[in-house]
Amino acid sequence: IWHFVENFKNSFTFKVQGSIGNISSLNSTLTLENRVNKTQIANIPPKVNVSPSKKGPLQHHNLLVCHVTDFYPGSIQVRWFLNGQEETAGVVSTNLIRNGDWTFQILVMLEITPKQGDVYTCQVEHPSLDSPVTVEWTSQETCEKPMQHKSVYETLGFLRAMLGIMVISSLWLLKSLQTTRWPKDQGPL
């Protein structure tokens, strides 16, 4: 019996030591895979888009939105510049928004009253970038086109009104001529 116990003990010790070796090997593999995954996801550069919150004419209050998306890690700095000078007043930002795929996004807005020729710049700094990304927006892009559309619609409205007045006047004149009775031998003037 003692011999059986000794064999069992040696067998059990070997299996435990073998399992510990396997666990250690698996742990090293997982650690390495984790490092590879973090390295692959650690350098996702941001995408940057700048647009006004609404279309409108120059000299009207508006909000310029810098939408920074699909970046990792979440450490990021977004700044606004007007004609090369940093703007800090009127800057509003959301908190970091998680996208669900380990990346983030953020909205940084600037209150503006654009003037002709103004150049607004959204500057983004992120660990994945060698140098900051800048996206410019010029106030010429504000709504001169909708103003042109407004003029077209005003002109069309005026022409419709004039046409309507002419049609109504013509119908009224015809009706009056039909209801007016002239003596048969005199006719209209």
Q: What is the pLDDT of residues 72-81, one digit of tens each?
A: 999 999 999 9
Quick one: pLDDT at residue 5? Answer: 61
Domain assignment present for residue 56? The answer is yes
Nearest to 137 by CA among 161, 110, 105, 160: 110
**The two three-digit tokens of residue 139, written as one number:** 């106030």
Domain assignment present for residue 162? The answer is no
pLDDT band at 99 (very low <50, low <70, confident <90, very high): very high
Q: Is the pLDDT of residue 168 over 60?
A: yes
Quick one: pLDDT at residue 144? Answer: 44
User: Where do runs of H (alpha helix) occur along 42-185?
Assistant: 144-179
Q: Is the pLDDT of residue 120 over 90?
A: yes
How confident is the model over 117-136, as a mean pLDDT?
Answer: 96
Quick one: pLDDT at residue 6? Answer: 67
Quick one: pLDDT at residue 41? Answer: 57
Nearest to 53 by CA among 129, 114, 124: 114
pLDDT, mean over the chain: 78
Quick one: pLDDT at residue 135? Answer: 97
- For residue range 173-185, what is the model confidence (pLDDT) as tens digits? 887 777 766 566 6
Q: Name which residue leads in pLDDT, 6 or 98.
A: 98
Of 38-42, 53-57, 146-150, minimum mean pLDDT range: 146-150
If asked whether residues 73 and 26 sit together in one domain, one would say: no
Quick one: pLDDT at residue 51? Answer: 93
If asked whether residues 37 and 52 sit together in one domain, one would say: no
- For residue range 15-35, what is the model confidence (pLDDT) as tens digits? 556 566 666 555 554 553 554
> What's the CA gap between 167 and 117, in Å, rounded?
47
Domains in the chain: how many in total?
2
Number of H helices and E strands in the chain, helices first, is: 2, 9
Quick one: pLDDT at residue 140? Answer: 73
If asked whether residues 131 and 72 sit together in one domain, one would say: yes
Quick one: pLDDT at residue 145? Answer: 46
Domain with 35, as residue range(s), is 1-41
Quick one: pLDDT at residue 66? Answer: 97
Domain assignment present for residue 166? The answer is no
If asked whether residues 128 and 63 sit together in one domain, one would say: yes
**The two three-digit tokens of residue 106, written as one number:** 């953020």
